[in-house]
Chain A
Amino acid sequence: MVVVLALVLTGPAARGEIPALHEVIELAPDGSARVAYHLQVAVPPAAGAPTGLRLPLPFAQTGPFLLEGATGWTASRTEDGGVAFLDLAPAATQTPATTPTDAAAPAPATAPTDAAAQAPATNPIDAGAGSITVRFDAPHLFKTREEIAAGGKEKPLPFGDISLAHTFVNTSGHAIASFSLVIALPEGFIFQALDEYSPKPGKSDPGFPYRFARLGERHSLELLPPPLRIGDRASVKARIREASRPWLLLVALAALALAWLLRFRPGGP
């Protein structure tokens, strides 16, 4: 929390607004995930705005950052006060503080160049640059039951449940007008329960800020909070599990029903 506050206070001034930021996490059965940030960055320019924007990176990351959409930007991993961030900046104004700290972390990725787009040394938020998508792989978003059992330190959850939690903190230095988080489970997995989520709806809010849906064949959870101010967080904590039919229970129930029908027939013995 202190780190977040410090970043908020010392980070880029909140002069502009990110129209939309959508985070999509597609999980694999081994606990790894493909993560994508989809940003719309077209906003009215603001005078004197500093460069770059910073997004939280609350998980380890492998492989390069892949950028799509607007050209001439770079994406890099940064650590500040022990907290990892994804720094996005136009190539010519790469944030000096950017220091890849992980041997596995790649060098800053640069999107395919566009002569026109490389020139401006201004805040991408204020540049009217359009849409950016940053993709990367994360090796560990949840621990499989086998990993928990092998580790020997944690107790596995009952009923075969697996704990899954994710938090997005708006460290970008700008308000985000429309934020969404989508977590898609591996095929064959379901959400057992949503234990916590934030922000909670107010008394006057007619609905809930989340919904369970599908992303193709996968069960997914969409968190749709109201606009995020600087420092606001959106988080979910859920239990997931592999879908399975309770065959043993079904057989027992069938036997019980049969026994009842045979034993308690009206007028019977």
Chain B
Amino acid sequence: MSHVTLAPSPHAPRPLAGEPTAAEELDELLDLDRHKLSVIPKKEPTPGERWMKYFGLPGGLLIFALLVSVPTPTGLTGAGQAVLALFSMCLVWWVTEPIATHVTSLILIAGLVLMNAWEQDKVLAVLGLDVIWLNITAFILSSILVKTNLARRLALTMFVAFGGSAVQTFGAFLGVQLVLAAFIPATAARAVMTLPLMMVAAAIYGSTAGQPTNFGRNLFLLNLLGINIFSSAFMTGSAANLNAVTFMESMGGEKIYYTTWLLGGLPVALITMLAAWWLGPGWLFPLAEKDRTPHIQGGIDALRRQRDRMGPMSFAEKKAAVLFGFVLILWTTDQFHLSLFGFEIEAVIAALLGAIITFLPGVGLLQWNEADIPWHLMIFSAGAYAGGMALDQSGAARWAIEGVLGFFHITRETPFWALYAGAMALMIYSHLFFTSKTMRTMIIIPFVILTAKTLGYKASSLALPAAFTIDWVVGLPISAKPNVILYTTGQYSVVDNLKFGVLVCTVGYLVLLLAGATWFRFLGIIP
């Protein structure tokens, strides 16, 4: 659990005189300014993590030394060999974390230049890619939600309106996660924003870390699923989604529109989460009768009071809503820009326009220092990107995929559906062996694109459905940052997480297969 101490938000509602202490605690819980993404939390590693770090650094160096010193294999260039060696070393370091992930990225960036693997100007230009800009602007926009308390109001309103019973409460949280996923690309941010509400809800229903009930298991795991899987419904749902889009554009030569992603990804995510909403409380972790209703009298009312104390929407909240609406409208109408304006406003420029307005004196809502931009994540992304692009440019990725195709005897005669089923399974279940969505995307999506191109299929026919599952990192507490955050509540075990996560992944896999045969064909994603 992160321990970040920050000054309370100046916009947080003040407790009224004579209010019960619980309200003050609720206030403190709901102070979203306490969780800054730009501040790296200090985390004490477990004994297992210590050993991973200990062996991770020499392990990475050993792999690098082996790959760089063997004779250059047939079909590979010297640059490709160097990229493979560097990337493999950094992959080991990203997973085992002997040094911080963003520092590993810096090492990769420098290594690419010093090992003659990729030209310096191209390596350094990666930090200027539109995906990095989109990340920066999205974090600026999400800072508005936190500062103006619009995120808190949204969450409280939905919870109070739909949280009358246990199952309704789960549904309300899923609704909140769905809405937040459309606006906030950082899954960790959504986790920290809604965590206080989850903890309050768990307390209201009598589930504690010391004595967790199936209500707590369902609540936290459904939120974990919602945070991650709803990210796959929106192109901007996570930075890794944008990475995949960039790959499809740069390697596949195909433009992926926001609406194309939305129409393909949203139904799959919704159906999968509806199934999870039923499977959890109804089958995997059935609710006892006593857990179906609040254990604390007036628990929901406490949240209602909290919402009421916020009063009517402030002018700042209204401005934030209008600003977000403006950006969202631009994002969702991208396919019509050309006919409407005579030019196209790409997602990154739409977000940039929103960010510009945010900082305008008199009109805006933020000072620069209030924008919570996690630069270490930008550096990490840039390094991972540089590695992925160098793998492609040097031909190393193609060399590797040809090796894989040869190993599995995948040829042009292999039926598309066998490839589709294999690619989806690889993408979904591989998350159990990765701790970073970005890395998984960097490694698998280019291979999927190259496989499709090599075998004569449209790159997006395999890569876009595979990209819809990038955010399905729900199997283990270490699979993603929100998982770690929620696991620290002690409301569920690793086995609980694994059971629910793998079950929902399998349901999602079946939904994807069905969508591939029907909906994706209708949309033209699959020929």
The answer, yes or no, to whether A104 is at the interface (CB within 8 Å) is: no
The answer, yes or no, to whether B76 is at the interface (CB within 8 Å) is: yes
The 4 closest A-B pairs by CB, nearest first: A257-B58, A266-B50, A159-B116, A192-B78
The answer, yes or no, to whether A191 is at the interface (CB within 8 Å) is: yes
- CB contact list, A145-197 vs B, under 8 A: 158-159, 161, 190-194
Q: Flag if B76 contacts A192 (CB, 8 Å).
A: no
Q: Flag if A245 contacts B253 (CB, 8 Å).
A: no
**Chain B: which residue is nearest A268 at the CB level?**
B54
B residues in contact with A191, CB < 8 Å: 77-78
The answer, yes or no, to whether B356 is at the interface (CB within 8 Å) is: no
Q: Flag if B74 contacts A261 (CB, 8 Å).
A: no
Q: Which of A158, A193, A256, A261 contacts B77 (CB 8 A)?
A: A193
B residues in contact with A208, CB < 8 Å: 398
Mask: chain B, 361-396; 1 = CB below 8 Å from A; 0 = not: 000000000000000000000000000000000110
Q: Flag if B394 contacts A211 (CB, 8 Å).
A: no
**Which stretch of B61-69, B131-139, B191-199 is in the interface?**
B61-69
Q: Flag if B62 contacts A257 (CB, 8 Å).
A: yes
A residues in contact with B50, CB < 8 Å: 266
**Chain A: which residue is nearest B394 at the CB level?**
A193
Once A219-B72, A246-B68, A261-B54 are accepted as A-B contacts, the answer to whether A190 and B62 lie under 8 Å apart by CB is no
Q: Flag if A193 contacts B57 (CB, 8 Å).
A: no
The answer, yes or no, to whether A38 is at the interface (CB within 8 Å) is: no
B residues in contact with A59, CB < 8 Å: none
Q: Flag if B77 contacts A253 (CB, 8 Å).
A: no
B interface: dominant SS: helix
A residues in contact with B399, CB < 8 Å: 212
Measured between alpha carbons, how far is A253 from B86 in the docked complex, in Å? 13
Mask: chain B, 432-460; 1 = CB below 8 Å from A; 0 = not: 00000000000000000000011111000
* 16 cross-chain CB contacts under 8 A: A190-B72, A191-B78, A193-B77, A194-B395, A206-B454, A207-B453, A212-B74, A212-B395, A213-B75, A241-B78, A250-B68, A253-B61, A258-B58, A260-B58, A261-B54, A266-B50
Q: Flag if A158 contacts B68 (CB, 8 Å).
A: no
B interface bracket (residues with beta carbon within 8 Å of A): 20 to 34
B residues in contact with A211, CB < 8 Å: 75
Not counting A246-B69, A250-B69, A260-B57, a sample of 11 additional A-B residue pairs whose C-beta atoms are within 8 angstroms of each other reads A191-B77, A192-B116, A207-B453, A212-B395, A214-B74, A241-B78, A243-B78, A245-B69, A257-B62, A264-B57, A266-B50
Measured between alpha carbons, how far is A191 from B78 in the docked complex, in Å? 6
A residues in contact with B116, CB < 8 Å: 158-159, 161, 192
B residues in contact with A243, CB < 8 Å: 71-72, 78
B residues in contact with A213, CB < 8 Å: 74-75
Mask: chain A, 200-238; 1 = CB below 8 Å from B; 0 = not: 000100111001111000010000000000000000000
Measured between alpha carbons, how far is A219 from B73 in the docked complex, in Å? 9
The answer, yes or no, to whether A1 is at the interface (CB within 8 Å) is: no
**In the complex, how many angstroms separate the beta carbon of B391 from the nearest chain A beta carbon?**
13
**Chain A: which residue is nearest B118 at the CB level?**
A193
Mask: chain A, 132-151; 1 = CB below 8 Å from B; 0 = not: 00000000000000000000
Q: Which of A212, A254, A258, A265 contacts B54 (CB 8 A)?
A: A265
Q: Which of A264, A265, A266 has the most CB of B within 10 A?
A: A266
**Chain B: which residue is nearest A265 at the CB level?**
B54
The answer, yes or no, to whether B79 is at the interface (CB within 8 Å) is: yes
A residues in contact with B336, CB < 8 Å: none
Measured between alpha carbons, how far is A261 from B58 in the docked complex, in Å? 8
Once A193-B79, A207-B454, A212-B76 are accepted as A-B contacts, the answer to whether A266 and B65 lie under 8 Å apart by CB is no
A interface bracket (residues with beta carbon within 8 Å of B): 20 to 34
Measured between alpha carbons, how far is A24 from B74 in the docked complex, in Å? 18
**Chain A: which residue is nearest B78 at the CB level?**
A192
B residues in contact with A206, CB < 8 Å: 453-457
The answer, yes or no, to whether B47 is at the interface (CB within 8 Å) is: yes
B residues in contact with A194, CB < 8 Å: 77, 395
Measured between alpha carbons, how far is A190 from B74 in the docked complex, in Å? 10
**In the complex, how many angstroms separate the beta carbon of A217 from the nearest chain B beta carbon?**
10
Q: Flag if B79 contacts A192 (CB, 8 Å).
A: yes
The answer, yes or no, to whether B522 is at the interface (CB within 8 Å) is: no
B residues in contact with A250, CB < 8 Å: 65, 68-69
**In the complex, how many angstroms separate the beta carbon of B468 from the nearest chain A beta carbon?**
23
Measured between alpha carbons, how far is A260 from B60 in the docked complex, in Å? 12
Measured between alpha carbons, how far is A241 from B69 in the docked complex, in Å? 15
Q: Flag if B47 contacts A266 (CB, 8 Å).
A: yes
A residues in contact with B98, CB < 8 Å: 260
Measured between alpha carbons, how far is A260 from B71 in the docked complex, in Å? 28
**In the complex, how many angstroms separate the beta carbon of B406 from the nearest chain A beta carbon?**
13
**Chain A: which residue is nearest B59 at the CB level?**
A257
Measured between alpha carbons, how far is A253 from B65 in the docked complex, in Å? 8
**In the complex, how many angstroms separate the beta carbon of B173 from the nearest chain A beta carbon?**
39
**In the complex, how many angstroms separate the beta carbon of B68 from the nearest chain A beta carbon?**
6
**In the complex, how many angstroms separate the beta carbon of A192 from the nearest chain B beta carbon?**
4
**In the complex, how many angstroms separate the beta carbon of B448 from the nearest chain A beta carbon?**
14
The answer, yes or no, to whether B326 is at the interface (CB within 8 Å) is: no
Mask: chain A, 17-45; 1 = CB below 8 Å from B; 0 = not: 00000000000000000000000000000
**In the complex, how many angstroms separate the beta carbon of B67 from the nearest chain A beta carbon?**
11
**Chain B: which residue is nearest A207 at the CB level?**
B454
**In the complex, how many angstroms separate the beta carbon of A50 from the nearest chain B beta carbon?**
41
Measured between alpha carbons, how far is A158 from B61 in the docked complex, in Å? 25
Q: Flag if A256 contacts B78 (CB, 8 Å).
A: no
Measured between alpha carbons, how far is A221 from B54 in the docked complex, in Å? 42
Q: Flag if A254 contacts B72 (CB, 8 Å).
A: no
B residues in contact with A264, CB < 8 Å: 53-54, 57
Q: Which of B58, B65, B77 contacts A190 (CB 8 A)?
A: B77
The answer, yes or no, to whether B51 is at the interface (CB within 8 Å) is: yes
Q: Flag if B453 contacts A190 (CB, 8 Å).
A: no
**In the complex, how many angstroms separate the beta carbon of A221 from the nearest chain B beta carbon?**
9
Q: Which of A219, A246, A257 contacts B61 (CB 8 A)?
A: A257
**In the complex, how many angstroms separate the beta carbon of A207 from the nearest chain B beta carbon?**
6
Measured between alpha carbons, how far is A233 from B220 in the docked complex, in Å? 63
Mask: chain B, 442-482; 1 = CB below 8 Å from A; 0 = not: 00000000000111110000000000000000000000000
Once A212-B75, A212-B77, A266-B50 are accepted as A-B contacts, the answer to whether A203 and B253 lie under 8 Å apart by CB is yes
